[in-house]
Amino acid sequence: MKIITWNVNSVNVRQAHLEEVLKDVKPAIIGLQELKCETAMFPFDAVKAHGYHAIASGQKAYNGVALISQIEPQDVEIQLPNFEDDQQRLIAATIGDYRVINVYVPNGQEVDSEKYEYKLKWLAAFHDYLKDALEQYGNVIVMGDFNIVPKDEDVYAPELWQGKILCSGKEREAFNNMLSLGFVDALRVFATQDPMFTWWDYRQGQFEKDEGMRIDHFLLSKNVSARLMKSEVLRDVRAKERPSDHAPVAIYLKD
């Protein structure tokens, strides 16, 4: 069973890439972030033509999340129930045996800014939401763009990023607090020494120089992690013409 998370950085701009992934990779589930379009503008018909169901929560020009799956999603939830916010950053559903939570965490812009404080408050609410999800559901898969670099080995130049946004101590603490609830960082189960970068800035040829970060993650409840066979970053998609600055990230679970 293949599951993908991908910040598409505009689903309409990247629609052809999305359709290629659906056709060639054939994931059972794919979570998208940063749709940058209102819900009505999401390419539902194109997704359906490939044999998939889709649910989306969009927002004009910013944010937005979607779940695409071979099995029709049930018990859909949009946005954090414990955090009043008009930004579309979370969509969750039960898909087959799994409770799938797809998230686009705020960037934070700059440490000590108002947006950074908003990010930390959002993450605190998300932590409580995940705690409840673990208590309510047996098999939980959390995926998305977390906008957090968990450790120094997850960024190309840790000395340049020390204490800065994405790499600050409070952000990393929030990530570790989520793991402490009972989640496993799927990309680190096997590839403990591989950087597995998932994002590269468009500027200065950073993708070509592999100057990236690991900010897209899968967190698996422990019983789901026992089914994990493999994880990988689909770098070939990032190498396409007019790509997203994020590569899709895939995990493979035993059926």
pLDDT digits (tens, 9 = 90+) for 131-187: 999 999 989 999 999 999 999 999 999 999 999 999 999 999 999 999 999 999 999
Q: Which residues pair with 37 in a beta bridge?
A: none
pLDDT at site 192: 76
pLDDT digits (tens, 9 = 90+) for 219-249: 999 999 999 999 999 999 999 999 999 999 9
Q: What is the mean pLDDT of residues 17-30?
A: 98
Q: Which of 104, 116, 129, 137 does the annotation list as catalytic?
A: 104
pLDDT at site 193: 76
pTM assigned to the model: 0.98
Q: What is the mean pLDDT of residues 1-14?
A: 98
Q: 137 catalytic, yes or no?
A: no
Q: Which of 52, 145, 154, 216 does the annotation list as catalytic?
A: 145
Q: 145 catalytic, yes or no?
A: yes
* Structural domains of the chain sorted by starting position, each given as residue range(s) with its CATH number in brackets: 2-253 (3.60.10.10)
pLDDT digits (tens, 9 = 90+) for 77-118: 999 999 999 999 999 999 999 999 999 999 999 999 999 999
